[in-house]
Structure 1
Amino acid sequence: MTETDPRAQPGPATAVAPSARLAATPVPDNVSTPAYLYDLSAVRSAHARLRSWLPEPSELYYSLKANPHPSVVSTLHRLGCRAEVSSPGELDAALEAGVPVSDILYTGPGKRDEDIAGALAAGVRDFAVDSVHGVDQLDRAAALYGVHVSYLLRVNPGGGSRGAGLRMTGGPSAFGADAEDIRACPERYTGGDHARIEGLHLYLATNITDEEALGDSFSEAIEVARALSEALGRPLRTIDLGGGFGAPYARGGELPAYPGLGARLAEELDRALPGWRHHAPTVAFESGRYLTATCGQLLTRVLDVKESHQQRVVVLDTGINHLGGMAGLRRVPPLHPDVLRPNGAAPAQADRIFTAEPPGPAMICGPLCTPLDTWARSHTLPAVVPGDLLSVPNTGAYGLHASLVLFLGHPAPLEIVTDGGQVVRSDRLTFVRRAGL
């Protein structure tokens, strides 16, 4: 659920390149923090940029896991993106954003029976499955509802993708059925009376910034799709090649460019799946981080500045509970965020205790009662005192919704949405304990 906070009034946005827009957006000192600030014009710019790199015709799914805020989801749907969801919460977010069920693909390597039942009750008819059990589970659920559904069979091929921030398949994995087993026993994967295979879903790796490496990943996926289409012995209507498009995270920088990708993939698709230009099959891609990373920044205020064992320590009002929680717990590589003074934000007035020190390295910590709540051990900061407003750029993807927001019970940050220099929405997630049902 959400609640409106009228105190958040960001200033006008400046129309510049999406990667630079947030750094140039004036933010008034009276903004309530912590706060995520999302710029919908940056979402539209990133979408236009990504579409220009893809072969045509093709579909594009938006992966809600990157940022399920309804304003972001509805903006991307109006631009033509279908929604890829993988939980009841993401399904609710897509529906709240106005995405029709006909434009929703429900994925995920493990689904509870009640998750599938809830999706079927909502009208979802397109799924992705990862195993023989997943095929049977979906078929049984659809039979109980007296409906017919289609699914994409997710594939786990061999091989590897160089340059990937995270490899999704290629070894033992929850994601996808092994390509070798599909080829050996295709009849196990084609469905039952109520759930029938529509196509294949391949997502080999993520966060690849190098164009050649990304192209190689898609080339592998195309070849696997060709081979399995023949093995399954039936025409497939959809080949979802997944994503892997990189983006800066919590640091300054621009979205990577892939200017030759579309032409390369079109040529390879012509050879492997010659009917694709006439949607036989339809080729699809998906993206989360590329579409949203540069739309967001996290605003934070300094709570304390001190010297500890000859090192400057700066404590902020946000930390791993709002950004990089999994990195904070060392489950993924640690963050090295850029922490900057936002454009237009004046330094706070030092009181009689604090004197702003010269810029220099500092240990950056959050407010949580754990030493793991540390963004950086030594990061260059401007001279700051308590009350100063700072910003972490490029946090529109995997920000709040990939954090430890429930840990220690601090309020969730505001989420402020701007468009054309105007605040169009400002709300905050809240959590309510209810009796078990």
Structure 2
Amino acid sequence: MIRPVYVHDLAGLAAHARRIRAALPERVELLYAVKANPDPVVLRTLAPVVDGFETASRGELRRLAEVLSDRPPAAYVGPGKTDEDLAAALAAGVRRIHVESPAELRRLGALAVAAGTPARVLLRVNLPVAAPGASLVMGGGPSPFGMAPAEALECARRPPAGVEVRGVHAHLASGLAAPLAGSVAAAVVRWAVAELGAAEVNVGGGMAVDYSDPAARFDWSGYGRTLAELLDAYPRLRLRIEPGRSVTVYCGAYVTEVIDVKRSHGEWFAVVAGGTHHLRTPAAKGHPQPFTVHRRHGADGPRTDGGPVTVVGQLCTPKDVLSRSATAGVVGVGDVLVFAMSGAYAWNISHRDFLLHDPPVFRTGDPREVAAGWAARPVRP
């Protein structure tokens, strides 16, 4: 038995990031949201392509300092920032701190004055912009994220000492197709410029990723054209976006081995090494993780009949489901399964200490080659 392995395709990641950058107007700053995948190899691969990194914790600030000591974070975001968090952001030289509330702004001002370091901020605003069809909504209604438009206007008019208000941040939803993402961005920009006179606007991320169709991709070219039209309308505007999942999700694969195959009450189950304590995405998102089957050399153990199969892990809970598939074909003991689209919100959001199983191994390369090499090894008796 080989321990499950995460494989990062760094060449594929770099090529995908370059395509995104090429599809965007030159005046749009592309920030990578570190929360999606903070693996050092991912950060190093993206560093030459993106314009900066968005961080959301002191841990992410430390990770970025360790991996890219010459790249101060472009943004520091998130609700519930403590004084220690804000002080760390100031000390790290973060270019823009995204402020979530009037109280947070006052605390930041006091810390900036004490440190003798001006805090340059964007005000996160919860604008009443509809995002029908979004998979995750964080604005447009009651929410812990951001401040009401009237509060933001008051903060901009009377900022505390030590604070320079540069503009607006609005991340209102995730799972947005390109046309909807473009219309949301346009609505945010129009409000920020008309009401606040903002010179800088960060319209967030949230670009859609379709786990049911790994070949489908967000229409970056169409989105780029919409942003170009916005910049034409507001030629002095500094515009930023901060995608995470849509940048790295395709570069990672989780590769593991089938331990057991069984039939229960008429349904097939394949039990694999590892599980959702390694790859939390399908449980968190409520979807089947796409996977392919690599037949194991010399495997002669139990196998399914090619019908629908539920792939589960080793945890003592019925929620440990990685995927349900009606099209996987025959799955047998010893076979190697490659779970695609595991490059974002995967290992880094997993409940890795549940049952204290061994962690997965990490390596770089082509996941298909890794799986093929694994499948070519004889099954141990």
TM-score of the pair, normalised by structure 2: 0.88
- Are residue 349 (structure 1) and residue 298 (structure 2) matched? yes
- Report what 1:312 is aligned to: 268
CA distance 1:421–1:251, shift in 2 (3 Å): closer
Secondary structure (helix, strand or coil) at the match of 2:362 reads strand
Q: What CA distance in whole angstroms lies between the structure 2 residues aligned with 1:379 and 1:355?
A: 18
- Report what 1:76 is aligned to: 46
Correspondence for 2:291 among 316, 319, 339: 339
Correspondence for 2:200 among 238, 242, 250: 238
- Are residue 128 (structure 1) and residue 98 (structure 2) matched? yes
Instruction: Assess if the C-alpha contact under 8 Å between 1:59 and 1:284 holds in 2.
Output: yes
Secondary structure (helix, strand or coil) at the match of 2:106 reads helix
After TM superposition, the structure 1 = structure 2 runs for residues 35-434 of structure 1, keeping only pairs within 5 Å, are: 35-124=5-94, 126-183=96-153, 185-186=154-155, 190-209=158-177, 211-230=178-197, 236-249=198-211, 252-271=214-233, 273-276=234-237, 282-324=238-280, 328=283, 332-341=284-293, 345-351=294-300, 354-376=301-323, 379-418=326-365
> How big is the shift at 1:349?
2.9
> How big is the shift at 1:69?
0.6
CA distance 1:94–1:355, shift in 2 (3 Å): same
> How big is the shift at 1:136?
1.0
- Of stretches 163-172 and 50-59 in structure 1, the one that deviates more from structure 2 is 50-59
Report which structure shows greater RCO (CA 8 Å, sep ≥6): 1
Instruction: Assess if the C-alpha contact under 8 Å between 1:250 and 1:392 holds in 2.
Output: no
Gaps of 5+ in 2: 371-381
CA distance 1:244–1:250, shift in 2 (3 Å): same
> How big is the shift at 1:83?
0.7
Deviations 1:318-360 (A, max 9, x none): 22212235x53xxx5412122212xxx4424335xx3434322
Instruction: Assess if the C-alpha contact under 8 Å between 1:205 and 1:217 holds in 2.
Output: no
Q: What CA distance in whole angstroms lies between the structure 2 residues aligned with 1:284 and 1:192?
A: 25
Q: What CA distance in whole angstroms lies between the structure 1 residues aligned with 2:331 and 2:215?
A: 24
- Report what 1:11 is aligned to: none
Q: What CA distance in whole angstroms lies between the structure 1 residues aligned with 2:230 and 2:220?
A: 16
Gaps of 5+ in 1: 1-29, 231-235, 277-281, 424-437
Secondary structure (helix, strand or coil) at the match of 2:47 reads helix
- Of stretches 116-125 and 413-422 in structure 1, the one that deviates more from structure 2 is 413-422
CA root-mean-square deviation? 2.6
Q: Percent identity?
A: 34
> How big is the shift at 1:148?
1.8
Q: What CA distance in whole angstroms lies between the structure 1 residues aligned with 2:219 and 2:95?
A: 35
> How big is the shift at 1:101?
5.0
Instruction: Assess if the C-alpha contact under 8 Å between 1:200 and 1:240 holds in 2.
Output: yes
Instruction: Assess if the C-alpha contact under 8 Å between 1:255 and 1:294 holds in 2.
Output: no
Deviations 1:257-277 (A, max 9, x none): 243333333223333x3313x
CA distance 1:289–1:103, shift in 2 (3 Å): same
CA distance 1:213–1:99, shift in 2 (3 Å): farther
Instruction: Assess if the C-alpha contact under 8 Å between 2:8 and 2:367 holds in 1.
Output: no
CA distance 1:165–1:100, shift in 2 (3 Å): farther
CA distance 1:240–1:99, shift in 2 (3 Å): farther
TM-score of the pair, normalised by structure 1: 0.78
